[in-house]
Amino acid sequence: MTAAERMVKYWARVEEFQASNEDLLIATYPKAGTTWTQEVVDGILNEGDAEKCQRAPTQVRMPFLEMTAPDGSSSGITKLEVMDPPRVIKTHLPVQLVPRSFWDAGCKVIYMARNPKDTVVSYYHFDRMHLNQPEPGPWPQYLEKFMKGQLGWGSWYDHVKGYWKERHNKNILYIFYEDMKEDPVHEVTRIAQFLRRQLPKSTIEDIVQMTTFSAMRENPMANYSSIPDTIFDRTASEFMRKGEVGDWKNHFSAEEDVAFEEHYRKIMSDCPVPIRFTI
């Protein structure tokens, strides 16, 4: 069973999940910088204490709401049920599928968006290495599937637009991977303010240092090295792969880029989310 099939099978318990007002949801389309945001948030909540942030792997500290293990033995929900609020929860669900209790409770949500070209490249390499994900097949067809919204968690376009349209109606902080890359001190400060944490500048700087790509790649509690090789084929690619803005230029042919741009302009014209493809 793929992750998507398991999600359908166990959907009722996700939909019925009871969030507490103190819970924080980190929402993203896959490969948008979820793990990075999670690490920043944990750094803020633990006031830059690296040891505390290394108490357990990412997926244990901040469960993945709609995910169930391939053998069905554990899931985001089973982990969350034995944790007391305040909990930090990861989701890739589009805004309309977020369990109602999050909105009823007025939970804070941090949404991170990443430009779709780097997102699809990252997703492609992830699907190459993730043995429980569908085989990605050749790149040109994979890119087409992304543009048609046929990859796991659906359309990137609907996802980023959905949260963008709701950001003022709900308690959503909308951030961008490219901004975080360009000015991490500024973005980490914004996140801390959203979480109502007053931190000295030196602590913000510590958190920025703890959450650079290279620091996280070396951190066994943040780099998914706890996932066995039977699930992550590290000979194909790595979870902490490049962590850059603009790697898409190494993957898109000139023709693919023209077609992508035209499709992008058309599909995003009703909701101009300020996405940047370079910094």
- Catalytically active residues are 92
For residue 179, the minimal CB distance to ligand PPS (Å) is 12
Q: Select from 3, 10, 17, 30 the one that contacts ligand PPS (CB under 6 A).
A: 30
Closer residue to ligand PPS (CB): 19 or 120: 120
- Should residue 159 be labelled a site residue for ligand PPS when binding is judged by CB under 6 A? no
Quickly list DSSP for the chain.
--HHHHHHHTHHHHHT----TT-EEEEESTTSSHHHHHHHHHHHHTTT-HHHHTSS-HHHHS-BTT-B-TTSS-BHHHHHHTSPSS-EEEE---GGGS-HHHHHTT-EEEEEE--HHHHHHHHHHHHHHBTTSPP---HHHHHHHHHTT-STT--HHHHHHHHHHHTTTTTEEEEEHHHHHH-HHHHHHHHHHHTT----HHHHHHHHHHTSHHHHHH-TTTS-TTS-TTTB-TTT--SS----SSGGGGT--HHHHHHHHHHHHHHHTTS-----S--
Q: Select from 3, 26, 31, 80 the one that contacts ligand PPS (CB under 6 A).
A: 31
- Should residue 248 be labelled a site residue for ligand PPS when binding is judged by CB under 6 A? no
Tell me which residue of 65, 8, 3 sits closest to 34, measured CA to CA: 65
Q: What does the alpha-carbon distance between residue 149 and residue 29 come to, in Å, rounded to a whole number? A: 12
What are the structure tokens assigned to 198, written together? 């007053």
Window 224-243: contact mask with ligand PPS (x via CB under 6 A): ----------------xxxx
For residue 24, the minimal CB distance to ligand PPS (Å) is 16
Q: Which range touches ligand PPS (CB under 6 A), out of 44-52, 68-76, 95-103, 212-220?
A: 212-220
Binding residues for ligand PPS restricted to 81-120, rule: CB under 6 A: 118
For residue 270, the minimal CB distance to ligand PPS (Å) is 26
Please give the size of the binding site for ligand PPS, defined by CB under 6 A. 21
Closer residue to ligand PPS (CB): 194 or 224: 224
Q: Select from 26, 28, 203, 221 the one that contacts ligand PPS (CB under 6 A).
A: 28
Window 119-138: contact mask with ligand PPS (x via CB under 6 A): ---x--xx------------
Omega into 30 within 30° of 0, i.e. cis? no
- Should residue 32 be labelled a site residue for ligand PPS when binding is judged by CB under 6 A? yes
For residue 177, the minimal CB distance to ligand PPS (Å) is 7
Q: Select from 17, 35, 68, 98 the one that contacts ligand PPS (CB under 6 A).
A: 35
Q: Which residues bind ligand PPS (CB under 6 A)?
A: 28, 30-36, 118, 122, 125-126, 211-213, 216, 240-243, 247
